[in-house]
Amino acid sequence: MQSTPAVPETGIHGKIIQAPAGILGAPGLGPESHKAGAMVLKNLYHARGSDGKDYEVHVYVEPASHSNAHIERLVKICLADGSELRVLSKRRYEIVATGVTLEAHDPDAI
């Protein structure tokens, strides 16, 4: 049986942050939760908005280890300021509050 290499606990930017309740948007996952571990900024993508402005799309995961497997659960996709995004399709998002659509040009973007 082959083992898979471990995935590092930090994102590509090496930032581990405590999960704030407001950014997660789900009850029981904020700092008040004893089960919540660290929330990791896994990826950051630059996107152009339909309003002509540039935005940063942040992808947060929550790492967990079970036996010999490392698992990451997607927690939140939002703007750098925490504004909620709706995923429209691969590399396309909508800012929920304003309706501005965003397009990331990175081929690896979610």
Domain spans, the chain: 16-104
Categorize the per-residue pLDDT at 11 as very low, low, confident or very high, splitting at 50, 70 and 90: very low
- How far is Cα of residue 16 from the mean position of the Cα atoms in its chain? 12
Residues 6 or more apart in contact with residue 11 via CB below 8 angstroms: 40, 41, 42, 43, 61
Quote the tokens at residue 61. Answer: 């995961």
pTM of structure: 0.64
CA dist 55 and 81 (Å) reads 10
- Vertex 62: Cα angle to 61 and 67 (nearest 5): 125
- Vertex 45: Cα angle to 60 and 91 (nearest 5): 95
pLDDT > 70 in the chain, percent: 66
CB 52 within 8 A of CB 70: no
CA dist 46 and 58 (Å) reads 9
- Tens-digit pLDDT profile for residues 29-53: 344 333 456 889 999 999 999 999 9
Say which range, 47-56, 69-78, 92-101, has the weakest mean pLDDT: 69-78
For residues 43-72, give the mean pLDDT: 91
